Amino acid sequence: MLAVLSLLAFAFHFIRIQFSEAVDFSLDWNLLLSWIPLLIAFLARYLSKNMGPLPWVIGMLSVVWLAFFPNAPYMITDLVHLSVNYESDRTWHDAIMLFYYAQISLINGLVSLYWFHGAWNRTYSKRVGTILLFLSFPLGGLGVYLGRILRINSWDLFHKPGQFFLNVFENLYDRTALLLIVEFGLLLGTLYAMLWGLLKFRARRQNRVS
């Protein structure tokens, strides 16, 4: 379903290009980047379920996952590309299109977090899994700040680690950084709680039926 929705988002952008021009080709790239944490999380979920405890492997996958996880909530900030003219059909097309991009990207990120939460619980303990889960929320917000404001991308963590961490420490107490850390952290936390609740409700209902 997520793959189909991603293609639908691309189709909306293609239509926009046919009748006007591209909003920003980085939209397509950012959506593809949001699939990376999902694929990493799928691997971590598979290994933790079928290969027994692999703390070092899951730990390394967690670091790579965290480097790309902010690409999911980051797409909410692509709403800045929306130019408002209530009498223009293009405005409404763009609003729906940008929502598609942000929605799919967010779902990719939340599902990847759910899978990693399970992998952490199985590999370490529920206490450690809960701590890592709650750390992921503000760190996701910090990643959005680094990407949108400082224009740092996920690859820099591995390509230029020294410069990456220097930028983090130099800007950690910037007012905008604190705003995005807190507010994106709250957003991710509430959305994750909703996802977790729905999945748990579905699991309990299936158990009752069976």
- The model's pLDDT over 10-21, given as tens digits with 9 standing for 90+, comes to 888 888 777 776
> Of residues 88 and 197, which shows the higher confidence score?
197
DSSP state of 24: -
Helices (H), 54-125: 55-68, 71-74, 89-123
Cα 207 from chain centre: 30
- Predicted confidence (pLDDT) at residue 59 exceeds the cutoff of 80: yes
The DSSP line for 34-55 is THHHHHHHHHHHHHHHHS---H
- Percent pLDDT > 70 in the chain is 95
Q: What is the pLDDT of residue 193?
A: 94
DSSP state of 25: T
Q: Which of these, 104, 108, 123, lies nearest to 27 by C-alpha position?
A: 104
Pair 202, 87: CB distance under 8 Å: no
Please say if the pLDDT value at position 53 is more than 90.
no
Residue with the two structure tokens 């209530």: 86
Across the chain, mean pLDDT equals 87
Q: Say how far apart CA 194 and CA 196 lie, in whole Å.
A: 5
**Cα(127)–Cα(113) distance, rounded to whole angstroms?**
16
* pLDDT, tens digit, 9 for 90 and up, residues 67-105: 999 998 988 888 887 777 777 777 888 888 888 889 999
Task: Specify the pLDDT at position 209.
Answer: 62
What six digits make up the tokens of 35? 């699939």
